[in-house]
Each structure stands twice: as structure tokens, then as C-alpha cells.
Structure 1
């Protein structure tokens, strides 16, 4: 799933292409919105909110899209060949006189009055890349569930919006925190963890490449992400890969068992979802 910095960059490019322009084409290729036509509407701004993209119109409406695992927006000059995939993957087309923005495999496509955007994104915690980022509020939300596993908690967009799996595992590694540690057991490290994730994301805002080590060489751009079985850059221990998260919502997690050894017993009853079921750790070697 795209991280918050990917959505931020997409919003910047969409804003440059559409903001202030009147749409000469605004079509939806989705059953629930197929009859809606935005032709003639003027785009005022494009705003990222966590992993959601909000396209605001001058007539008081907002179009929300979400990338999920495979969605993307592609921008072309009029007449250029679209290359984002087969035609049946196109969900939305927004075109001005100068640019064509084509949304492939988009999810959660909705349009609501701008005054009612909270219906779509009001559940989100503070946006780690937003202009109104509130560290204290994010920490308060995390600390409300001290038995949650920290690797699950910082991905929960209700606690804070924007962090994805890549920045989760890289930030936890850099702070030496085990992904399965309880939030309550790493309380003192939480501010530094969120600040590190934010710094890593901001360093990658202006380009699609996501480098967390500062080393541009292939295979050296991440500390643990995507490096199962390879030696840790710090201690040489093979990186492990496992699954973490509530049932049906598991996400793969990479970590170094030496640099991120648990500092306190990991509670097998740590909350993994609303049902509070214990979660076994599955490790792929």
C-alpha cells in the first residue's frame, strides 16, 4: 500500500496539473458513479490526507480517492498514450486543456459536499505530513491502547495517518524496537519513533524513490524492508520476515532479531483488533 509520502507527491503533481483549471472531461468508470459527469467543474485544490487524496471543486464538492494496494494516478499531455494498464483498469478521468489525469485501479472513490469531508476522513488521526500535525494527539491515541503491539499501532490510521509498512519497519529498526513489543513497554520511545518516521518520509517527498539509509546503491536503500535472509547492515544477523496484525489484515514485517531484540516480555494477549484475540508470530526463514 502506498505510504503517505507517495500520496503527498501524487497530490502535488495533481495540484500542479489541475488546480485552477476547468475540467473539459470528468468521467467515472464505476457502476455507482457512472452517471456522474464533472465536465465544467473547476478544481480549486488537491489535498493529501493520510493515504487519501481529496480533490476539491469550486462548486463545493470533494472527490476522494484511495490507492490501497494497487491504485495510482497518471498524468499525460492530451493525445499522449495512456500507459498505466489496460483500459478496464481506468476508474476516473479528469482532464483540463493542458493535462489528462487518469486514475487506475482506484479504491474508495466518493464525492461529497466539501463541508462533509469528515464523513470520509474524519476517523483519521493527525496526518504525519500534514500542516496541522499534532504529535501530542498522536501519542495520546497510541497510549489509549497500551497492550497493542507497537508495529500494529503505528499502522492504525485512527491513531495517526500516513505511515505505511515501509516506514513502520524502517523506523522500528532505527529505534531498536521489536515490532511485537507492547505500546506500554516502549512508551518513552514513542515520540522519537514518530519523529524518525516523519523525518524519513519528508526526506522522500519530492521523488518517488523511498530511500531510508542514504545509500543509493541497489540493495542498500533500506535497512530491513524487503531484505529477508540478508545480513543486517549493523550486526550481520539475517533479517527475519513475519506476519503481524489482526486476522485478515496481516501485514508482512521485517526485523533484525538482534538489533530489535525484545527489551521486555512480549504479551501474547496483546490486542490485535477489536476482538482482542492473541496473535501467534509466524516467521518465514
Structure 2
């Protein structure tokens, strides 16, 4: 699933393409939203909140005053990429416009210069901007937000304090604690801090927890400036991470073998890649069996027995990590 860096990069792209201009066309292939036409309204901005995209759209004419109609109130278009979603840009009127009958298209939002096409979006909502909090209000603070140093960090640590004995990896992935971290940056931040993904979060004091969150934020912000998630500075395929998706390969720091095991509570475990030498501590879900490099041919379709995870919980996909 795209993480905060990818979502922030997408928000910046949509903002540059649409903000400050009236919409010339909208199309939503999403239930009742298919009847809505926002053409003529002006886009104010697109921002990211964790893994969520919020495109804010001005109200129509006559929007001032206490008795505004539903057609006049400012709106927020909320989208989530989930696992496979993306926004793609095409010059409005250009020949590279995709087939309009493409079943993967979920939304079309166009201005005079650019047409933004939502492919395989996992979530689409359109709500009055004043009700935006109903969509993202339950989330923890956005770890990539400008307000993080002033208010976000302290609020995340307050929520962290309720994590009790949950594993570090699980807490970092909990969007109710902090929004924006996924399995890639969870693994990379823990490796950078030499912490086991299964170490109880309660063992970290506020200073150590804050340092871990600051590390994750630094990595995410750096990744947002790259074309793909990246912590090594190397953009070559399979060279963008220290441990994520590198099970069965040598650790870049110590040379030992990187491993992967599940973190979290069934049936919602997520893959946690780690180096046992650099990140000593508990690994209760790692059965210790030899693990082949990610993408190696499985013993049978869908099986991960050859990488030491026992009964298959995920399937390996070359270059894409583990997917349920």
C-alpha cells in the first residue's frame, strides 16, 4: 500500500495540476457519486493527511450567508489509494487520454490544462469541507505535516503511551497513533534505530519513542523527494531499502541474513523485515527456517514455505513485497 511519502508526492502533483483553476469536467464511477458534476467550481488545494488525499473545492456562486444550498457549500473530494490505486495526469485534450471504457478508471477530474485520472482508487468520498473531520478525525497526527514539531509529535506520543505491550512494528502501523507509516518505513525506521519490530512499545520511554518517530518522519520526507520509496539513495530496482523486501539477502550493515515474519494480531498480521543481528530482541513469529530471497520461485503457487514462514499467510510477488 502506498505510504505517506507517495501520497504526499501525489498531493503535490494534483495541487499543481488543478489548484486555482475551475474544473471543466468531473466523472466519478463510484456509486451515487456518478450523478454529481462539479464542472465550473474552482479547486482550492489538494493536501495529504497520512495515506489520505483531500482535494478541497470552492462553493458555487452565492455561497456566502447562513442559508447555503447543498450545491453552494465548499466540498472535499477524499480519495485513498489503498493497495493498487494511483492518480495519472494527461494533458487535457491530448491523444494520450486512456480508453474511457477502461474498467480501472474510478474518477476523472479535469481542468483546462490537466486531466487527472484516478485508477483503481480504493476509496472515494465527497463531503462538505466542514465535515472533513468525519473522514480523517479518528486518525493520529500526520507524521509528515508541517505542524508535526509543534503539535503532532506530542499528540502522537500521548497516543503511543496507550499502546501498552503491543509490538513496536504494530504500533507504528496503527494509523490511530500516527498517520502515514506503512510496512516499508516501519521496517526501515526500526532498522535505523536498531530496534526489533516485536519489542514491546512500552519498553521505550518518551525520548526513545520520539526519536523513533522522528527517524520515520525524516525517512518519509526524504522519500517524498524521490520517484519511489527510498532510504538508501540508490534508485535501482531492489536497491532502495536496507531491509524491506530483502529477506534472504545480506544485511547492508552487518552482512548477516535479513529475515521476515509477521507482526500484529491475526488475521491482520503484516510482514516485518528485519536483521536479527542489528535488531536483537524478540521475534516470536519467526520460525527460524531458512528464507530464500524474495521473489524466488515458491515450492508451489502461493506458498511461502521456502522462505520459512510456515503455512502461507502472504504470497510473494517479485519486486512488490508480500501481499495477502
Q: Does residue 147 in structure 1 map to residue 169 in structure 2?
A: no
1:26–1:216 Cα change, 3 Å: closer
Q: Does residue 242 in structure 1 map to residue 256 in structure 2?
A: no
- Distance in 2, matches of 1:239 and 1:82, equals 43
Q: Does residue 231 in structure 1 map to residue 250 in structure 2?
A: yes
Task: Name the structure 1 match of 2:137.
Answer: 122
Could you say what secondary structure the match of 1:26 adopts? strand
Could you say what secondary structure the match of 2:5 adopts? helix
- Kindly provide the CA deviation profile for residues 116-150 of structure 1, in whole angstroms up to 9, marking residues without a partner as x: 10100001111111122121111110111221111
Residue 85 of structure 1: CA displacement? 11
Q: Does residue 65 in structure 1 map to residue 84 in structure 2?
A: no
Q: Does residue 49 in structure 1 map to residue 64 in structure 2?
A: no
- Kindly provide the CA deviation profile for residues 198-221 of structure 1, in whole angstroms up to 9, marking residues without a partner as x: 111111222322221234455432
- Kindly provide the CA deviation profile for residues 79-104 of structure 1, in whole angstroms up to 9, marking residues without a partner as x: 23246997101011000111000001
Instruction: Return the match for 2:90 from 56, 67, 76.
Output: 76
Task: Name the structure 1 match of 2:128.
Answer: 113
Q: Does residue 206 in structure 1 map to residue 225 in structure 2?
A: yes
Task: Name the structure 1 match of 2:179.
Answer: 161
Q: Which runs of 5+ in 1 are unaligned?
A: 269-279
Q: Is the 8 A contact 1:143 1:184 kept in 2?
A: yes
Task: Name the structure 2 match of 1:132.
Answer: 147
Structure with higher RCO (Cα < 8 A, 6+ apart): 1
Task: Name the structure 1 match of 2:202.
Answer: 184
User: Which has the higher mean CA deviation after the structures are superposed, 159-168 or 188-197?
Assistant: 188-197
Q: Does residue 98 in structure 1 map to residue 116 in structure 2?
A: no
- Distance in 2, matches of 1:56 and 1:131, equals 18
Could you say what secondary structure the match of 1:151 adopts? helix
- Kindly provide the CA deviation profile for residues 169-196 of structure 1, in whole angstroms up to 9, marking residues without a partner as x: 0010111100011001133521111111
Give the aligned CA root-mean-square deviation in angstroms. Answer: 1.9
- Distance in 2, matches of 1:42 and 1:89, equals 26
Residue 282 of structure 1: CA displacement? 5.9
Higher Rg of the two aligned structures? 2
Q: Is the 8 A contact 2:41 2:58 kept in 1?
A: yes
Q: Is the 8 A contact 2:82 2:121 kept in 1?
A: yes
Could you say what secondary structure the match of 1:63 adopts? strand
Could you list the structure 1 runs, at least 4 aligned residues long, displaced by more than 6 angstroms after superposition: none
1:184–1:65 Cα change, 3 Å: same
- Distance in 1, matches of 2:179 and 2:287, equals 27
Q: Is the 8 A contact 1:75 1:101 kept in 2?
A: yes
- Distance in 1, matches of 2:142 and 2:47, equals 12
1:218–1:61 Cα change, 3 Å: closer
1:147–1:45 Cα change, 3 Å: same
Task: Name the structure 2 match of 1:275.
Answer: none
Q: Is the 8 A contact 1:41 1:57 kept in 2?
A: yes
1:161–1:282 Cα change, 3 Å: farther
Q: Does residue 260 in structure 1 map to residue 274 in structure 2?
A: no
1:83–1:175 Cα change, 3 Å: farther
Residue 242 of structure 1: CA displacement? 1.3
Task: Calculate the TM-score normalised by the size of structure 2.
Answer: 0.79
Question: What is the aligned residue count?
Answer: 271
- Distance in 1, matches of 2:264 and 2:139, equals 19
1:282–1:253 Cα change, 3 Å: farther
Task: Calculate the TM-score normalised by the size of structure 1.
Answer: 0.89
Q: Is the 8 A contact 2:20 2:45 kept in 1?
A: yes
